[in-house]
Amino acid sequence: MELSVNIDHIATLREARKELFPDPVYAAVEAELGGADGITVHLRGDRRHIKERDLELLRQIIKTELNLEMAATQEMTEIALKIKPDRITLVPESPGEVTTQGGLDLLNIKENLKPYISKFQDNNIKIGIFLDPTPDQIKEAVRIGARYIEINTNEFSKNPKSKDELIRIARVAKAARREGLIVHAGHGIDYKNIKALLSLSEITSYSIGFAIIARAVFVGLRQAVREMVNIIKGGG
């Protein structure tokens, strides 16, 4: 079981005052020292938090795995091919949204993702798709060349006591594994609601940001990450 820590909100705090600090690169190092298996950042079209310079420095500094969340656009593809993260998670992106509103709808998306994915595969970059927990999209994810999916856990996170949402996630996770896809999960996960998800053995990695950064305000980032790692890996 692995944890990738999303450090976007460190950059959000920096951009609130247009300062040089707090530095997302320093945050990434602290997250790794806390036991993170990877670092996740989302480079948005409006550059509201993470910048290209952050990506360049992260690529040089971190010792674990760099996961770049991005929209499937020509601009982002060119940046990604320059930086060469370890993996890329393709996500939908809408102007003005506070956070990602849902998964990619592979059945109705107008953009042809295969040309982008082929370029990434040619550069040995693992490709994943951020999806809502709907099983009918799994075969399409396989068809376009995804190596893994990240299940959108937002609805579950809003109502973690809902057995229906947990069942939806479990069905998608099982369907994805049957098709040979690796299964990740993320969005809205915190120190409490993650415990229900840990019963799903098909999920092998979690991407968590806001809850960890919020906890870090009180205990420090290294400790906040360590606490989440202990929960995920059975130590706490």
Strands 38-42 and 2-6: parallel
The two tokens of residue 180 are: 């040979």
Q: Which whole-number Å values give the CA distances from 182 to 74, 151, 230, in the listed order?
A: 26, 11, 22
The owner of tokens 């005052």 is 17
Identify any residues that bridge with 3 across adjacent strands, giving them in sequence order: 206
Residues noted as catalytic: 42, 69, 187
Phi, psi of 185, deg, nearest 5: -150, 150
Structure token pair of residue 182: 């690796």
Measured distance CA(109)–CA(216) in Å, rounded: 37
